Each structure stands twice: as C-alpha cells, then as structure tokens.
Amino acid sequence: MWELLARSLEASTVFLFAALGELVSQRAGTLNVGLEGLMLFGGTVAFIAARLTASYPAGLAAALAVGAVLGASHGFFSITLRGDQVVSGMGLWILSFGLTTYLGSPYTGPLGLPRMATLFGLSPFVYAGVALVVVSAVVLFRTGAGLAIRSVGENPLAAEASGIPVAATRYLCVIWGGLLAALAGAVYTLSYNPVWTYNFLMGWGFVSLALVFFSMWNPWILLAGASLFGLMWQLSLSPELVLPGVLSRYVWRTVPFAVTIPILVVISTPWFRSRWGLARPEALGRPYPAD
Amino acid sequence: MVGRYQITLQARQARSASSAALAALLAIVLALALASVLFVSSGSGVLAGYRVVFSYAFFNPHGAVATLHRAVYLLLCTYAFLLPLRAGLWNIGLPGQVYAGALAAFGVPAVLGMSREAAPGWPPGAVIGLMILAAAAAGAAVGSVAGVLRARLQVNEILVTMMLNSILFWLVSFMIKEGGPLMGATAEGESFTLPLLLRAPLAGGIPVTAALAAAGAVLIDPLLARTALGYRIRAFGENPQAARYGGISPLALSLLVFAAGGATAGLAGYHTFAAIPGVYKIPGNYGFYGDLSFYGLITALIARGSALAAVPIAVLLSGLSLGARFAQGMLRLPFGVDYALLGLLMMTFVASHILDRFRVVWRRTPAGVLQPAPGDSRG
C-alpha cells in the first residue's frame, strides 16, 4: 500500500508541476492549451540528454532550456503578435507530438541509469512540488509581484495605467509555465517512469490543463486536485490492488479521463460559477492591447 | 534596422484569396524544406530522399492507390474538424470519433452473429449500409457530447474531446484484445476480419467511401457559403454574441456542427478499417490511425476552412506521410518521419498564419535621419 501511495504522490507531482506553471501563466492572462506538447518535449529532451551524458542534472537542464524556449515562443505568438492563443497552443502540441516521436524513437527503451535517490522513501520532486505550491501561493497572494501578475490577467489596461509592464509580466509567466511543463515531462521520464516510448504521456498534459480549471486558479486547491488525480491514475494502472478481477484493465484506464468530464461539467454550471467561478482571470486568452 | 532599411510587421486590413493560397503553399514548402534536414542527418541526399517519397506516393502503382485511400481518410477527418471550426469550435476529438465509428461498424456484424460469415436472411448490402450508418451515428454521438457541453455550459471543447479520445482509445483495446467482444479468432490483439460479403463495395479498386469524401468536397463549401444554415454557422463562428442576438440558437448550432463533424470522422473510421482492401479489421496498432487523423486537422487549417481547397492538400499530405514512412524503411531513417512531418507542418502553418495576418514592411530610412556612424565618411 505504501508503494502505491509513493507512486501516486510521484504521479501527482507530474500533474502538479505542469499545472502550477500553467496556473501562473493563466493568472497573467495567457492560456496554453499545448501543455501536453511542452511536457512531451521536456520529457524527451531530458531523457535523451540524461542518457547521452549519464547525468540527471544534464537531463533536467536540457528540459528547462527547451521549456523556456517553447514558453517564449508561445509568448511571442500570443503576446507580441497578439495571435490566437489556441492556435499557438495547438501548434506547439502537434509540433512536439510529431518531433518528439522522431527524435526520441532511437532511444526507445529504459534510461539505464541507477534510479534517483529518494528522501524518506519518496522522490525528491514530491517535496519540491509541495514547496513550489507554498511559494506560488505566497507570491501570488501575498506579494506585490503576485498582485502585478493577477492584475495583468484581470485587467491589463488598469495594470498598465498603474505602471505594471503588461507584456513583460506575461512573458515571464508564460516562460515560467514552459519551464515547469518541461520539468513535469522530465520528472516523468527521469523519475516516475524512466522508459521512453512514443507519445508516452497519452493525455497527462490535458488532464493537467483541466486541473488548472478545477483549481479555481488556487495553488492549494491544485495540490489537492493533483494528489487526487495522481492516486486515481495510479489505481487505474493497477486496479488489482483494490478491486482484483473487477472489469478489464483497459476499462480502468479510462477512469481518470471519464472522471474529468463530469468535474468539468460541474465547475461549468451556473450554480458553481456564481459561487466560486469569479477566480477565473477576466482577461484570460485575450490579447493586449485588444484589436 | 538592416542598413538603411527599417523592417516592421503591419497588420493586414484585408486578406485576399491569393495571399491565403500563397500562405498555404509557403507553409507546405517550408515544412518540406525543414523536413529535408531529416534526410541530410541520415546521410542520404535531400533530392534522393524526396525522390523516394514522391515516386512511391504518386508513381508507384501500389503507393498511388494507398495514397488515394489515405486521402479519402484524411478528407473525411478534415471535414470533421472543418465544420466545427467554421462555427469557431475546435474538434480535436478526431481520433475518438474515428475509433467510435470503427467500433460501431464492426459491432453491427458482431451483434448480428456475422463476424465469421454473412448469415442468411440478411442481405449483405443492407448489413454494409447498417455498418456505415452505425459508424456515422457513433461518431456523431461522441462529437455531440462536446457540442452540447460547450453550448449549454461553456465547457472547454478541447478538453472534453481530448478526454473522449483517451476513453475511446482504451475502449477499442477492451473491445478487440484479451477476450473482448470484437476480438479475432486468433486472439492476436486485433478485431475479427470482416467476412468477404460484408466488405465495402469497390469500383475500380476504390471503395464506396471515396464517393462520400468527394461529395463533401463538392457540397460543404456551397452549403456554408450559400445557404441560411451555412450563414448561421459562419455568423456564429465570427461573433457568437451577435449571432445569439440574431436569433441563432447556440445549442442547436454547436450540436449540429459537432454531430456532423463526428459523423464524418466516424465514416473515416469505417473507411480506414472496414473499406480499404487488405485491412478489413481493427488492427492492434489502431492508435496510429488515430494519430494520423490529426493530418486532417492540419489540412483544414491550411485550407482555411474550405473543403474544396482541402482536396489537393489532403492528397499531397497523404502521399507525403505514406512516402515518408516508405522512405524511412528504404533509407534506414529512425521511426516517425511521418510524425516529424506532421509537427513541422503544424509549425509552418502557425508561421504562415502570422504572415497572413501581418505583412513585412521594408521602409528605406531617409539618409538625413541616420546619424553618421563614427568613421563613416558617407554621412
């Protein structure tokens, strides 16, 4: 049971890193629906770099570098060129899906390095993830920088009038989102499941994106949501631990996705929106200045 | 600044059809230019690489027929993405709807007890008709989920369709593997093979589904441009608020485009698994065909939402993706050249989208404005 819990927490960390970066990016008004692509790219590059150099830090550094570049390119399209953020995000996703399949295929198979050291039986990324939640919550809700990020995402015109550089703030946040998404991919391929296969994520990025919406853009709720989905994901992989012999393993694999849809429906109802829906950044997905 | 020239990006006020066509062409040519790096990195020449791709895809008798079959598949997927896109909605649930269509199509003979041979009492033509209808209906049903949720509750259709893709992906595994209801007799992780009499009729080696793709190419553009329904779809896509004031029901419209899109994706599922000679089953690597459906998404985007313009693009991309897979084997390239091309096409589409929205302006700066640089005797 401890094994299941430890694996669940590590799975949660993958969701958490990706969603936390996207949460900050969305708080500043930029939506990146291509989160899965950034994770795929980060994970693939980290895997290749770690395997070639036999070094985990090199893998992580490579992932962060590619995450920053992809985040900045999404920023260039959506902030500087004021393009449609969905087009850019979809572009990043399909670009990453296609290229990582090609780039990673010669490395298909296990990483071949000794497993990363654990701390009290858990991956160090689990602790880093929780620490990042604390830092994100403090920065977003208790500091001037957080106020600037939130105001840029709520009302960029007013933010600019009060002297906040809208474009620079959005760039920083979208690059931060790219960094954390790539890191999430790296945690997957270096620690959670260090075996490269084509399209290894199969929906983790989209579930992470949904988690941002579930979280009401609050890092603490996000931590709870990511933990729940981590556990659910792990159970869907090994249902025999809880319900041996009930339903096909393939049916269990649909559970995290099948649960996501009703949750999306509930948080979209007028009843829910009128009570808790106000946290949605008002200017999310809208270019600034508007056309 | 470059020398005495200042380069700026200016938003275009109006975009002509010729500039859209040019941007589409540029996207494809640029993607091919970038893909040539793959050939160079493998040690084979660029021209030699493309010669292999094009000669297999368009001039080899076996390859050309395969290109045609794939083009029908891509076109049906293109319409599935294009119809919601014209209403401003993103249907990225193509793989899920394709899988749903395939499951429903194979479900018909399974339910009728005809998975080994056509049973007496059921005319094969009627069963084939039922299979086609079931595929369209299943695709439409899956698509409608996203359509209804989007219209009623503003639930993000990208997330819903992606979740449905994953759900349907695993459901196919459940149905065709490890004792699933559609599993083949040899239990090799694939569905049963359709009996001879239940295979889609062919005309000159081309299945009947090609007629559906051709009908879409001819009918969809006039439907969108010249009918009241088409006007409503476009109005909704361009300004949903204004469309609502104009009496257009978001629920009906969103449901309609997603159901119609889902139906064509379902037909694509029927086509690729139940109508192409040599297939006639849902293979274990069915996920590849789901991935391939994203070529339909790119085709619709590059064709700027025109079904007719999508035809040459779909044929070209079908040939390229098939030829790339062939070249991969011939030139010993790593797996996934066709996937890399998909990614590069998406990237160059986004780049061409920018160029189409903006134009690059080169402006010569008057000589007097420039400050003479130190040591510059011309100043």
Per-residue pLDDT tens listing for chain B (379 residues)? 556 677 666 666 666 778 778 888 888 999 999 988 888 877 778 888 899 999 999 999 999 999 999 999 999 999 999 999 999 999 999 999 999 999 999 999 999 988 887 777 789 999 999 999 999 999 999 999 999 999 998 899 999 999 999 999 999 999 999 889 999 888 778 999 999 999 999 988 889 999 999 999 999 999 999 999 999 999 998 888 888 887 888 899 999 999 999 999 999 999 999 999 989 999 999 999 999 999 999 999 999 899 999 999 999 999 999 999 998 888 888 888 889 888 999 888 888 877 777 766 777 766 655 555 544 444 3
DSSP state of B188: S
B residues 37..66 contacting A (CB < 8 A): 38
Q: What is the per-residue pLDDT for B376?
A: 46
Contact B334 A206 (CB under 8 A): no
Is the pLDDT score of A96 beyond 70? yes
Instruction: Check CB contact of B171 with chain A, cutoff 8 Å.
Output: yes
Distance CA B249, CA A239 (A): 44
For residue A84, what pLDDT band results from cuts at 50, 70 and 90? confident
How far does A165 lie from chain B, in Å, by closest CA?
22
The two structure tokens encoding residue B314: 């779909």
First to last CA, chain A: 55
Distance CA A96, CA B346 (A): 10
Contact B159 A209 (CB under 8 A): yes
Instruction: Check CB contact of B158 with chain A, cutoff 8 Å.
Output: yes
How far does A91 lie from chain B, in Å, by closest CA?
5
Instruction: Check CB contact of B170 with chain A, cutoff 8 Å.
Output: yes
Instruction: Check CB contact of B263 with chain A, cutoff 8 Å.
Output: no
A254 contact residues in B (CB cutoff 8 A): 166-167, 170-171
| 3-class DSSP state of A85 | helix
Contact B334 A269 (CB under 8 A): no
- Facing residue for B294 by CB, picked from A94, A103, A260: A94
Residue type, B104: A
Q: Are A27 and A140 a contacting pair, CB within 8 Å? A: yes
- Facing residue for A248 by CB, picked from B167, B178, B350: B178
| 3-class DSSP state of B364 | strand
Q: What is the per-residue pLDDT for B1?
A: 57
Contact B167 A257 (CB under 8 A): yes
Contact B343 A99 (CB under 8 A): yes
Q: What is the per-residue pLDDT for B375?
A: 47
Instruction: Check CB contact of B302 with chain A, cutoff 8 Å.
Output: no
Distance CA B312, CA B33 (A): 19
Is the pTM higher than 0.80? yes
Q: Directed axis angle between helix B294-302 and helix B61-86, to 10°? A: 70
| HSE, side-chain direction, 13 A CA sphere, residue A214 | 28
Q: What is the per-residue pLDDT for A271?
A: 87
DSSP state of A287: -
Distance CA A106, CA A47 (A): 12
C-alpha to C-alpha distances, A155 to A23, A149, B15, B168, nearest whole angstrom = 17, 10, 31, 40
Element (DSSP H or E) covering residue A141: helix A124-142
Residue whose C-alpha is closest to residue B215's, from B314, B72, B69, B86: B72
Instruction: Check CB contact of B353 with chain A, cutoff 8 Å.
Output: yes
Q: What is the per-residue pLDDT for B367?
A: 61
A232-265 pLDDT, tens digit each: 999 999 888 877 878 889 999 999 999 999 999 9
Residue type, B187: A
- Facing residue for A254 by CB, picked from B162, B166, B353: B166
Residue whose C-alpha is closest to residue B29's, from B349, B333, B350: B349
| 3-class DSSP state of B183 | strand
DSSP state of A173: H
Q: Are B157 and B144 a contacting pair, CB within 8 Å? A: no
Instruction: Check CB contact of B89 with chain A, cutoff 8 Å.
Output: no
Distance CA A67, CA A181 (A): 7
A33 contact residues in B (CB cutoff 8 A): 158
Distance CA A95, CA B191 (A): 32
Q: What mean pLDDT do residues A87-96 have?
A: 92
Taking the CB of residue B125, how many other CB atoms lie within 10 A of it? 11
Q: What is the per-residue pLDDT for A291?
A: 61
Return the residue of B nearest to A81 by Cα. B354
Contact A250 B347 (CB under 8 A): no
Element (DSSP H or E) covering residue A169: helix A166-187
A88 contact residues in B (CB cutoff 8 A): 350
